[in-house]
Amino acid sequence: MIVTEAPGKLYVLGEYAVVEPGHRAILIAVDRYVRVEARPAEDAGTLFSTGTDRSLSWRHSGDVVDFDEDTAGFYRYLIAALDTVEGLRREKGIAARHYELHVSSHLDDAATGTKFGLGSSGAVTVAAVAAIGGIYGLELTPDQVYRLAMIATVQVTRTTSGGDIAASALGGWVSYASPDRQWLFDASRERSVAELLDAPWPGLRLERLDELDPDGDDRAVPATAGFAEPGDVESVEESPLTVRVGWTGEPADTPELVGRLRKDTALPADLLDRSDDLVERLEHVLTSGNTDNVADIVAAARALLGELAQQRASIIETPELTELVESALKTGWAAKSSGSGGGDCGIAVGPAGRDDRDLERAWISANIRPLPLRVSPRGQKILTDSARPTDPRDSA
């Protein structure tokens, strides 16, 4: 059996701008994971998920994979991941196998099922790609897992920037510029998967910015707890910045918000340039360790999102998010909404090691729920690998 995990994500800077190909964002992977178990099967494979009561069977049929249901349903991301990695397997001349994929997502609140907006479709796709790659012994690099998951995702939607996939594949702090998804979709019809793993992708930039140890132990703080005690997280907090996450209690509808903000036209060029500039400045903070300008950078990013929302007569920072940001500012943290806004999460950013007790108190009294999330030092990863034959080409 192969077991993989892939972390959820949060946007730190550059959301919305990053939807335009070639424009940039910084994200963190967070220490909540989607888990996929891949188990060998005989004549047919099956997809299972804790997200639905239904399973879905599939089988190899000549050069294609046949699924027992329309590919547009709940399993669409898993189907696309399977099709993509099976395409690569076929190109490499590796014998086809059947397997079950069992998916469980731990990104949402286990007790209430509440969605925190940590990027479930991205993490599911990434974890599935890694698991199927594991079944066939493909030894995929994080960059290759990103690319395979992105090729899969553009078969489902070309709206998403793929920032969630980037953070989930690489882990830690990730600097990202989105590829041209229409180009990628068209290229995926004309070129082999193997070629697309090596080719330059217009717009794409993918880089991990921190030096956190991906093999280091994760902290053991129960997911239901409030903030971690100071000291609990020392082993993973070597980056110059630390992030705290607050939840407003309102899930957001990202496709609806992105649609409303982009309308039929791309975002204004000057706004995209200013956003890229802020991303570059934060990248410099992370690589230089000089945190002096963080408050200015985060405040400018917040203002820029406000400008964007105003221009498009929409709302990114809801009154609840304003509360979250202003209460954090009063305790000396930099803060902004994270991701599409309209509810969901906000983040507070400060130098690593900063005491967070005042912030936690301020958020609780402002009716904001502090989420016990930290930067995940690891991206997707194969945790157990007990099914793989020594040479996958030997098995049918």
Ligand X SMILES: C[C@@](O)(CCOP(=O)(O)OP(=O)(O)O)CC(=O)O
Ligand Y SMILES: Nc1ncnc2c1ncn2[C@@H]1O[C@H](COP(=O)(O)OP(=O)(O)O)[C@@H](O)[C@H]1O
Q: Where along the sequence are the contacts to ligand Y (CB under 6 A)? A: 49-51, 74, 76-78, 103, 105, 117, 119-122, 124, 254
DSSP 297-348: HHHHHHHHHHHHHHHTT--SS-HHHHHHHHHHHHTT-EEEE-TT-SSSEEEE
Per CB under 6 A, 105 contacts ligand X: no
CA distance 89 to 298: 44
Both tokens of residue 259? 């649609």
Residue 295 touches which member of ligand X, ligand Y, none, C-beta under 5-8 Å by kind = none
Q: How far is the CB of 237 from ligand X (least distance, A)?
A: 22
Q: How far is the CB of 279 from ligand X (least distance, A)?
A: 12
- Which of 7, 21, 87, 117 binds ligand X (CB under 6 A)? It is 117
Residue nearest to ligand X (CB): 339
Cβ closest to ligand X, residue 172 vs residue 339: 339
How many residues belong to the site for ligand X (CB under 6 A)?
17
Residue 16 touches which member of ligand X, ligand Y, none, C-beta under 5-8 Å by kind = ligand X
Cβ closest to ligand X, residue 164 vs residue 276: 164
Q: CA-CA distances (angstroms) from residue 218 to 28, 213, 236, 394?
A: 15, 10, 7, 36
In whole angstroms, what separates CA 270 from the centre of its chain? 27
Q: CA-CA distances (angstroms) from residue 368 to 30, 245, 247, 356?
A: 19, 10, 6, 14
Q: How far is the CB of 101 from ligand X (least distance, A)?
A: 21
84: Cβ–Cβ under 8 A, 6 or more apart, which residues?
A: 129, 148, 149, 151, 152, 155, 193
Q: Spell out a b/e string for 285-319, using b for 16 or more CB atoms within 10 Å of the CB, else e.
A: bbeeeebeebbebbbbbbebbbebbeebebbbbbe
Per CB under 6 A, 156 contacts ligand X: no
Cβ closest to ligand X, residue 117 vs residue 171: 117
CA distance 142 to 150: 12
- Which of 4, 125, 161, 175 binds ligand X (CB under 6 A)? It is 161
Cβ closest to ligand Y, residue 106 vs residue 354: 106
Q: CA-CA distances (angstroms) from residue 58 to 76, 77, 90, 194, 246?
A: 13, 14, 16, 23, 41
Residue 103 touches which member of ligand Y, ligand X, none, C-beta under 5-8 Å by kind = ligand Y
Cβ closest to ligand X, residue 18 vs residue 81: 18
> Phi first, then psi: what are they for 259, rounded to 5°?
-60, -45
Residue 51 touches which member of ligand X, ligand Y, none, C-beta under 5-8 Å by kind = ligand Y
Cβ closest to ligand Y, residue 49 vs residue 175: 49
Q: CA-CA distances (angstroms) from residue 367 to 247, 284, 350?
A: 9, 34, 21
Q: How far is the CB of 255 from ligand X (least distance, A)?
A: 8
Cβ closest to ligand X, residue 15 vs residue 360: 15
- Which of 6, 11, 89, 177 binds ligand X (CB under 6 A)? It is 11
CA torsion, ordered 351, 353, 356, 359, to nearest 10 deg: 0
Cβ closest to ligand Y, residue 33 vs residue 227: 33
Residue 239 touches which member of ligand Y, ligand X, none, C-beta under 5-8 Å by kind = none
Binding site for ligand X (CB under 6 A): 11, 15-16, 18-19, 117, 119, 160-161, 163-164, 252, 254, 258, 339-340, 344
